[in-house]
Homo-oligomer: A and B are copies of this chain.
Amino acid sequence: MSILNAIQEKMNSLHLKERALAEFLLEKPQQVVQMTITELAGQSGSSTATISRFCKTFHSQNFPEFKRKLATELVQQTSTPNQYQDIVAGNPLQDIVTAITANHLRSLTDTTQLLDLNQLRLAIDALHNASRIDLYGIATSGIVAQDFFHKLIRIGKAAAVFSDPHLQLTSASSLTSKDVAVGISYSGETPETIHALRCAAEQGATTLSITRFGTNTLADGASIRLFTSSAEVGMRRGDMASRMAQLHVVDILFIGLVSEHFEQYVPRLEASFQTIKLYTSKEERKPR
């Protein structure tokens, strides 16, 4: 439910006509997906120009794409009855397991639906051509950044990962236009990561953001934007589902990268795998 969610959230910061449009969208999304932009303009009391701009605000290149995304969201909503579950006290373990599983599954499918293949391709190309790759993330997003780091060095990329704010800036300030900086933050409002990515952009580096869907500072400042599902609310659940979604995006990025340049990267991947096997096989394994 990322698009409708994002609209709901942004409601307050929308202008007069945009809000009228947003309200109409939230009220009758099913109908909107089969309307033309002119019809929608008429019925929502706005103009085609406003709608076209509105779609871009919500990360769709054009109105048809917006409708497409909205449509898939609506289908999912009706076909998968399991909403995101909140975790409450004293549930039997089985219920907890079921709830967490449902949340994670939902998070992955939602994120997949949101994925913009054009941005993905841009990201893959940027990573492929980068002479250095910097990864920034704090707390849980730092875990995701580290995971990405592990992957990238396995294929011989000159990558580095920073969760320390000062080091983030130190590294960012030495980037050049040949480099790529990746900022990871679920909210997209982590100040340290925002600063680091902004600094990287000022050095001319290509900037890539991985944030939740919707308008946020980190994505706004990035040249390539990838999004995760944004339905997660409340703090009890923590950031588990969002971390799953971020890792999902990282996996897709990585496999996309490897797959597009198979001959170059797969041997390296294989080599790193074999090397570890070689060096650790000296150790005795208890056969049992």
Contact = CB atoms under 8 A, between A and B. Distances in A.
Interface of A: 13, 33-34, 64-65, 67-68, 71-72, 75-76, 78-80, 87-91, 93-94, 96-98, 100-101, 104-105, 108-109, 112-113, 115, 117, 120-121, 124, 139-140, 143, 146-147, 150-151, 154, 189-191, 194, 215, 217, 220-221, 235-238, 240, 243-244, 247-248, 251-252, 254-256, 258-260, 262-263, 266, 269-270, 273, 276, 280, 283-288
B89 A251 contact: no
B78 A258 contact: no
14 contacts: A13-B288, A75-B79, A79-B79, A88-B259, A89-B262, A90-B262, A93-B121, A139-B150, A140-B150, A143-B143, A147-B243, A221-B286, A238-B254, A243-B247
How many copies the complex holds: the figure is 2
B258 A87 contact: yes
A273 to B, nearest CB: 5
Contacts of A236: 258, 266, 269
Contact of A280 (B150, B191, B283): B191
A104 B108 contact: yes
Given A75-B79, A143-B147, A269-B238, A259 B89 contact: yes
Contacts of A283: 191
Contact of A117 (B93, B112, B120): B93
A67 B93 CA distance: 22
Contacts of A248: 100-101, 104, 244
A212 to B, nearest CB: 15
A97 B112 contact: yes
Nearest to A139: B150
Contact of A109 (B105, B190, B263): B105
A130 to B, nearest CB: 19
Nearest to A98: B112
Q: Which 6 A-B pairs have the closest CB atoms?
A: A89-B262, A191-B283, A75-B75, A101-B112, A240-B251, A72-B75
A190 B280 contact: yes
A235 B90 contact: no
Contacts of A91: 259
Interface-centre pick from A154, A189, A255, A283 (highest chain B CB count, 10 A)? A255
B79 A109 contact: yes
B87 A255 contact: yes
Contacts of A13: 287-288
